[in-house]
Amino acid sequence: MLLLLYLLIALVSTAIIWVGSGWLESSSERLSVYYELPPIIQGAVVVAVGSSFPELTTAVFSTLLHGEFELGVAAIVGSALFNVLVIPALAGLFAKNVLRSNRDLVYKEAQFYLISVAVLLLVFSFAVIYNPVEGVAGSLAGDVTRPLVLLPLGMYGLYVFVQYQDTMDYEAEVAPEDIRVGREWAVLMGALGTILVGVEGLVQTALRFGDFFGTPSFLWGITVVAAGTSVPDAFVSIRAARNGNAITSVANVLGSNIFDLLVCIPAGVLVAGTVAINYSIAAPMMAVLTLATLVVFLMMRTHLLVSRREAWTLLGLYTLFVVWIGVETFGKVDFVPSLPPGT
């Protein structure tokens, strides 16, 4: 009975996030039209930041309310993998035509995303080198401090500045509609509050699953919570692809992941002050994320599109990742020592 109750809470929490994300998407799109932002900015900054609010909340709630920073990191890394593998695949399968990208996405967004992964891994490396702590079963660990996370936050500031430069020469093709700005901002704020409730439900579910199965919350963070918090990104991208806005669809995925890595994880550190990171876990997970990103990057670079065959390949890779994490956690294989954390 308890397991069914936890599953029900997870489903209800995901539904709440879905509803809040729908409001968030609608209000952010209308505000983008009002402020005459170009499509690449709408996808990579406005919509991406809005749809990444669940991940931001997960990092803050996990750290501040539950003392589970690794749960927050696992959820964000898992969400980034879900975003980069599953969402482009679903968008490609549901798109009216072949999912296409452009050179801005390939040469700017995707490459900046790879830089984001490298910057976050550099921060974790500095934590282990300059603030080492005793890890579990001899694993490498270190304290991530507030000064260290200024580096990724500064990188995100640079990213926003680069995006802002793109708006300098942009001329809106359609004049802004008659939009009630105050009402749209009120809807946006209400959507954020709704998402907060759903995220707390998912975090609680991950902790309860861990207790029920006797496994670290890391497993449920990188799978259940990650998938649940990625629902906004999935629906935003799929809807954009179905409407023929492939550029916005792919830009949302990359922009959301950049925000997740450079802002959401540092946010957990900022609220806690100092948190320990298990480098023996973080490094392999970032390596998997880098590999997944390179696969998608190469697919987008080939004729600047993602074919249906490539979409099914991405779904297969994500399924393989989930199976590997599961068997690793339950001790069936041991490719990565000390995975999961706490064992």
Contacts of 259 (CB under 8 A, 6+ apart): 48, 49, 52, 55, 56, 156
pLDDT computed for residue 168 by the predictor: 64
Model confidence, pTM: 0.82
- For residues 67 and 62, what is the distance between their CA atoms, to the nearest angstrom? 6
Task: Select 2-168+179-329's CATH number: 3.30.70.2740, 1.25.40.80, 3.50.50.60, 1.20.1420.30.
Answer: 1.20.1420.30
CA distances from residue 214 to 200, 235, 340, 343 in whole angstroms, order as listed: 21, 33, 12, 11
Residue 145, SS3 per DSSP: strand
pLDDT computed for residue 343 by the predictor: 47
- For residues 292 and 319, what is the distance between their CA atoms, to the nearest angstrom? 12
What are the b/e assignments for 199-215, b being 16+ CB within 10 Å?
Answer: bbbbbbbbbbbbeeeeb
Helix (H) or strand (E) holding 276: strand 274-278
- For residues 203 and 13, what is the distance between their CA atoms, to the nearest angstrom? 10
168 burial class (0-12, 13-18, 19+ CB within 10 angstroms)?
exposed
* Cα first-last separation, the chain: 27
| Tens digit of each residue's pLDDT, the chain (343 residues) | 777 888 888 889 888 888 887 787 778 778 877 777 766 666 566 766 777 788 888 888 888 877 778 788 888 889 889 988 888 888 778 776 666 666 666 667 778 888 999 999 999 999 999 999 886 666 788 999 999 999 999 998 888 888 777 666 666 555 556 778 888 889 988 988 888 888 888 888 888 887 887 777 778 888 888 888 887 667 767 777 777 666 666 677 777 888 889 988 998 899 888 888 888 888 888 889 889 888 887 777 665 567 788 889 999 999 999 999 888 877 777 777 666 554 4
pLDDT computed for residue 262 by the predictor: 92
